[in-house]
Structure 1
Amino acid sequence: MKKLEPAIQFHNPGNTLSIQYGDRFKKAFEDRRKAYLNEFSELLFSTFDKPVLAKLEFSFKDKIIYNERGLNSLLYAFLMPFIHREKFSKAKYYFALQVPASLYPFWCSLFFRGKRVCVLWNYDWIEMSEKIGKSKNYILFVKLWTWLTLKLINYYVVTNETDKKKILASKPNAKIALFPTAVDTEIFKPLHRQRKPNSFIFVGRLTYQKNLENLISAVSEIKGAELHIVGDGEDREKLEIFSQTLKTNVIFHGRKKTDEIIELLNTHSFFILPSHFEGVSNALVEAMACGIPVIASDIYTNREIIKHGENGWLCGRDKESIKESMLYALAHTDEAKKCADNALQMIQENFSVKKYFQRLAEFISKK
């Protein structure tokens, strides 16, 4: 397939350069660029943040259009088509990574003819804002932004059937492609290590969304079980105190580099993600790619990936349901092995980075 013309990807203001994932963030960024370049002749990343990218020592800084002057993010977003006129005129495709970045590429497309704008949409921004307790004014703003996105943009890439139906309900003529989220299966893969018995691992941010108090409570009632929590976040100190109060066997690893996370996913018995809500979880598909049996909460995005009892298990979000699922997994090692093998095959066949961007290129280039 002939490579498509240059593209620009826009990231969320204030979130693009979050260094909370450190090496893992850098690796994901590099993987995305390489995968894009297999299909597009050139890719530029556009960011509204100050040039802290230099701190991550990216090897492709020349491919990033960032806010060198440290302007206000909103002001910079509106000035981008003028500040970087040559680069924006050269690109044929503008991608928005998530709805919070969607209107910026549309704005830029108004100044250059023949640009195609596409939104990569993998969670419901309105629903998520409501669940994490954002203010009424913030939610009103999110609803307006989402309405404008649906009004002005025609191309969408979603990662689950539920979000596709939501978009079509609001915009029946929308052009939508449903692709699973992507994982680099050359990096996240089974290492065939000896797995530690009775051990569970969670990878992600330590926030209310992840439902870790119920997980820790469940582990405290399972004799001999051990929980490893990888990641950091605003709730870490509270969770550490909570686990000490319950005298639970929990190990907090903090942030880890990509290769360390892969090693941990290949060392423990089960991966568990009991979140109250999620987009399509990168941590979940990365765990499946490493061949570890998975347990995840029974929410619509997880149901798009996990077929209960076939390639993993779904559980309720309360303590008792989580505990029952963990006990079941511990007692059914043969089923766990079968689920892990099925999950690995599914990820390799459907979730690889290469296949994702091949599909994206085919979709965005259609007339």
Structure 2
Amino acid sequence: MYGLIEQKNKIHVCHIVHHFVAAGLENGIVNLINHLPTQEYRHSIICIADYDRNFIKRLKVRNIDIYELHKTAGNGVGWLYRCYKLFKKIKPDLCHSRNLNPLEAQIAAFLAGIRVRIHGEHGWDVNDLKGNNVKNQYIKKLFKPLIHQYVALSNEGMDYLKYRIGVNSNQLYHICNGVDVDRFHPKVNVSNPIDINFSKGAIVFGTVGRQVQVKNHQQLLNAFIKLKQSDIPNVQRAKLLIVGDGVLKEPLTAMAQQSGYRDDICFAGHRDDIPQTMASMDVFVLPSLAEGISNTILEAMASGLPVIATNVGGNPDLIMADHHNSHLVEVNDVTALSNSMAQYLINQERLEKDSIKVREHCVKHFSIESMVAKYHDLYTSLYQQKVSGRG
């Protein structure tokens, strides 16, 4: 257990996750906990498996405990009994699970008498990228009577819960992720962009994410290679920055090496200085096979980076409407992605104009304060209805 709680008599929210590691869903929880008013809340995080000791350093508040249940691979249920005992011990007011695996913990929450049970749909499982898996749908329908309120991050998630799982509209709450627009700035406001050894005047296309299948880096690499092979203006200035690690790093690096453009491609590995990393880019590209609401898109827009992305999940919810035709491409359409990237080489004035537009769009619609306010309203209203008796 990682314990910091010092005060009582606050709304006690228990967040259930599988792992608590550096990833989009988990980073959203960090942002929420760091910004909810500490005088009104305390938090527990129950990790069905484990947590990253370095990642939890991002938590800046002292009203939190973190627990591990050490579930191993397979279908064992011993962790559910440990979860039940833990619930009985810590007695949270609200239990908030996220995505498929943690949903099972709601059984333990129900048996332990937790009065408010919330479940969040943050995106698709890696083995169910379109939400079509019948078994997963059956499991979610089976657990539906245990859940008081559902949170969906995207419009796609709202439709999935309503029409495929059969959740009543009055149990659905739409809360999009938010981004810290003070931490993520356009590059003119960031003092130390990272050194990536690209020549002065380079136009840097970049991406940040785990190098795993669902992030589909292959499409980006193929599109960049196709771009470099073209004869469009300023193509010699085009560079590619890939940030992140993962199981596909070696084949992706080999692919870049064999392309003949290795000097124009930088694999920066895992980094914790993401604001500075974003400041080293000019255009952000996200070629994922599936997404919920991408924190990296939000961080890129807050950094003043035009975003080109695949037309999946919550990406259309985030991209400016004026950019839907020019900046959203279909999965694995290498030509469309290459052409979308090319527009910033052909018309460099557009880069500066779009940088201002996307920053303004992000600040207006996706501030972290807006996200936190919606969770605060949800938590307090359910607490008053079902725990304090004031509803």
The 1:218/1:62 distance shift into structure 2, 3 A limit, reads same
Q: Could you tell me which residue of structure 2 aligns to residue 105 of structure 1? A: 106
Structure 2 CA distance for partners of 1:64 and 1:141, relative to 1, 3 Å? farther
Q: Which residue matches 1:355?
A: 370
Shift of 1:33: 2.0
Aligned position for 1:287: 300
* C-alpha contact (below 8 Å) 2:28/2:295 kept by paired residues: no
The aligned amino acid for 1:112 is G
Aligned to 1:122: 122
Q: 2:309 aligns to what?
A: 296
Query: Partner residue of 2:80?
Result: 77
Q: Which moves more between the two structures, 207-216 or 227-236? A: 207-216
**How high is the TM-score relative to the length of structure 2?**
0.78
What is the CA-CA distance between 1:140 and the residue it aligns to?
5.7
Shift of 1:74: 4.2
- Alpha-carbon distance change, 275 to 220 in structure 1, aligned in 2, over 3 angstroms: same
The answer on whether the counterparts of 2:38 and 2:63 sit within 8 Å (CA) in structure 1 is: no
Q: 1:338 to 1:156 in 2, by over 3 A?
A: farther
Q: Is the 8 A contact 1:49 1:66 kept in 2?
A: no
Q: 2:250 aligns with which of 237, 241, 262?
A: 237
- Describe the superposition over 1:262-302 as per-residue Cα deviations: whole angstroms up to 9, x where unpaired: 11211221111112221111111111111111111122421
- Contact 1:157–1:177 at 8 Å: present in 2 too? yes
2:291–2:314 contact (8 Å) kept in structure 1: yes
Q: Secondary structure at the match of 1:365?
A: helix
Tell me by how many angstroms 1:56 deviates: 5.5
Change in 2 beyond 3 A, CA 1:77/1:184? farther
Structure 1, 51-60 or 76-85: larger mean CA deviation? 51-60
Matched positions, count: 347
Q: Quote the Cα distance in structure 2 between the aligned partners of 1:61 and 1:48.
A: 22
Paired position in structure 1 for 2:48 = 48
- Structure 2 CA distance for aligned equivalents of residues 244 and 54 of structure 1: 32
C-alpha deviation, 1:210, in angstroms: 2.0
Point out where structure 1 has 5 or more consecutive residues left out of the alignment: none
Which of 168, 176, 179 is the matching residue for 1:172?
168
Which residue, out of 265, 270, 276, partners 1:250? 265
Alignment CA distance shift 1:59-1:41 (3 Å): closer
CA offset at residue 365 of structure 1? 3.2
Secondary structure in 1 matching 2:251: helix
Corresponding position: 1:181 with 2:186: no
1:63-114 superposed Cα distances (whole Å, 9 cap, x missing partner) = 224137x5658423332232452312xx22111122321231343133225x
Aligned partner (choices 274, 277, 284) of residue 271 of structure 1: 284
Q: Percent identity?
A: 18
1:60 offset after TM fit, Å? 6.3
1:190 CA drift (Å): 2.1
- Of the structure 1 ranges 269-278 and 143-152, higher mean CA displacement relative to structure 2 is found in 143-152
Distance 1:250 1:176 in 2: 43
Unaligned runs of 5+ in 2: 1-8, 194-199, 229-234, 386-391
For residue 54 of structure 1, report the CA deviation from its aligned partner. 7.6
Higher mean C-alpha deviation, range 54-63 or range 261-270: 54-63
Deviation, 1:28, is 6.1
Matched residue, 1:201: 206
Shift of 1:30: 4.4
1:316 Cα deviation from its structure 2 partner: 3.0
8 Å contact from structure 1 (residues 7, 95) kept in 2:
yes
Q: Secondary structure at the match of 1:129?
A: coil
1:344 aligns with 2:342: no
Label 1:29 to 1:66 Cα distance change in 2 as closer, same or farther (>3 A).
same
Local SS of the residue matching 1:271: strand
- Give the CA RMSD over aligned residues: 3.2
Indicate yes or no: 2:215 matched with 1:210.
yes
Mark the CA change 1:64 to 1:75 in structure 2 (over 3 Å): closer, same or farther.
Answer: farther
Helix, strand or coil at the partner of 1:189:
coil
How many Å separate the matches in 2 of 1:343 and 1:101? Answer: 35
Q: Structure 1 length as normaliser, TM-score?
A: 0.82
Q: Report deviation, 1:251.
A: 0.8
Evaluate the alpha carbon distance shift between residue 294 and residue 359 of structure 1 in structure 2; reply closer, same or farther with a 3 A threshold: same
Distance 1:209 1:218 in 2: 17
Contact preservation (8 Å) 1:168, 1:174: no
Deviation, 1:173, is 4.5
Match of 1:96 in 2: 97
- CA distance in 2: counterparts of 1:26 and 1:175, whole angstroms: 23
Match of 2:154 in 1: 160
Shift of residue 353, structure 1, vs aligned partner: 2.4
Describe the shift of the 1:308–1:156 C-alpha distance in structure 2 as closer, same or farther (beyond 3 A): same
Of the candidates 228, 237, 247, which is equivalent to residue 241 of structure 2?
228
Contact 1:36 1:43 in 2 (8 A): no
Q: Deviations over 1:108-128 (max 9, x none)?
A: 133225x11111212144xx4
Deviates more, 1:158-167 or 1:224-233: 158-167
